[in-house]
Amino acid sequence: MSDAATAAQPETASAIPPEELDRLTDDIVGALKTVYDPEIPVDIYELGLVYKIDISDDRDVTIDMTLTAPGCPVAGEMPGWVENAVGAAPGVQRVIVNMVFDPPWDQSRMSDEARVALDMW
């Protein structure tokens, strides 16, 4: 399991029924997989840019994510892309995207799927 997949697992008990929380988590991850770094042909989830996903009992979603580099040309736009994609997932009420740069992203955070897509074995 990639670090990103681990990030999607809830840390504490939720008032949301487990089946609904699983579906919501799957839908959020699916939405994140529709957002691509325009310079790399791999989605941000598989790239390991998503560090943490929190789902509140009110179905508000907070995402901590980073960029491949702090000077990324889409740094100002990427949070909006993520907010729009995740906000469209059924059941999500509100989305907050926090850009973080600690720890810095590196290639070790990529999933096996991303490594295959980028021929980085």
Q: What is the pLDDT of residues 45-55, one digit of tens each?
A: 999 999 999 99
Cα 35 to Cα 12, 23, 31, 40, 44: the distances in Å are: 27, 19, 7, 11, 6
Q: Where are the domains of the chain?
A: 3-117
Domain 3-117 listed as CATH 3.40.10.10: no
Strand ranges inside 44-114, DSSP E = 50-55, 60-65, 94-99
Is pLDDT at 4 greater than 90 in this prediction?
A: no
Could you check whether the bond before residue 103 is cis, i.e. omega within 30 degrees of 0?
Answer: yes
Q: What is the pTM of this model?
A: 0.85
Instruction: Identify which has the larger pLDDT, 7 or 120.
Output: 120
